[in-house]
Structure 1
Amino acid sequence: MEIHPIRTEADYSAALAAVSALVDADPASDTPEGETLDILSILIERYEAEHFPLKAPSPIEAIKFRMEQAGLTVPDMQPYIGNTNRVYEVLAGKRALSLAMIRRLHEGLRIPADVLIGAT
């Protein structure tokens, strides 16, 4: 396969098909096929980043996602947000996150600070 930049939807579809075939073949990374897979993956990633950008989650979505990921409940969030009522208010979007909450959520749950600072 000739490798070239992905500029159109047709190029993108062809690159996806080629990557799918290469993944199925599972080539070693030090083979020509493995190197082709690496290069195509980079090109696809770049095309997708330009044409299908992911929107950052809201702070509340990020907190709820991390809670679900870690199996955390509202009482588990008290060290980061405050009493149970405050946790419910934050999760319902009725109370904004304070700087102290953002710091604790970032440090304790590793939620990116820039996501927590985003508009609520």
Structure 2
Amino acid sequence: MEAYEKKHIPIAIPDPIEAIDYYMETRRWSRRDVESCLGSRARVSEVLSRKRSLTLEMIRKLNQELGLPAEILIQPYKSVKIPA
């Protein structure tokens, strides 16, 4: 049954921001817990609200320090356009 499901019902890779939110929720992390990876409190807010994209350095830190899979974090995702 597992082989059938893998072949016919593939599981999509989650959006990077949704994955960060999920990891934070399931591990009871606060925004402060990811500050070391994303930067300041303001930067964490910008990234999680999709106003700023993850940088390669942020992805590396999230992977190395918190164990989030890089395969998930490098996926393209929608961001919010900020009006000029």
Fold shared, TM-score > 0.5 on shorter chain: yes
Q: CA deviation at 1:76?
A: 1.3
Q: 1:71 aligns with which of 21, 28, 31?
A: 28
2:82 aligned partner: none
Deviation at 1:83, TM superposition (A): 0.5
May I ask how many residue pairs the two structures share in their alignment?
A: 77
**Structure-1 separation of matches of 2:26 and 2:5:** 26
Higher helix proportion: 1
Structure 1: segments with no counterpart, 5+ residues: 1-43
% identical equivalent positions? 43
Provide the residue aligned with 1:91 in structure 2: 48
Partner residue, 1:45:
2
Query: What stretches of structure 2 of length at least 5 have no aligned partner?
Result: 78-84
Q: Which has the larger radius of gyration?
A: 1
Task: Give the superposed CA RMSD.
Answer: 0.8
Deviation at 1:119, TM superposition (A): 0.4
Task: Write the distance in 2 (CA, Å) between the matches of 1:80 and 1:70.
Answer: 16
Query: Relative contact order: is structure 1 or structure 2 higher (C-alpha 8 Å, sep ≥ 6)?
Result: 2
For residue 79 of structure 1, what is the amino acid of its counterpart?
A: S
Mapped to 2, the partners of 1:69 and 1:104 lie a distance apart of: 19
Q: Are 1:55 and 2:12 counterparts?
A: yes
Residue 109 of structure 1: how far off its partner (Å): 1.2
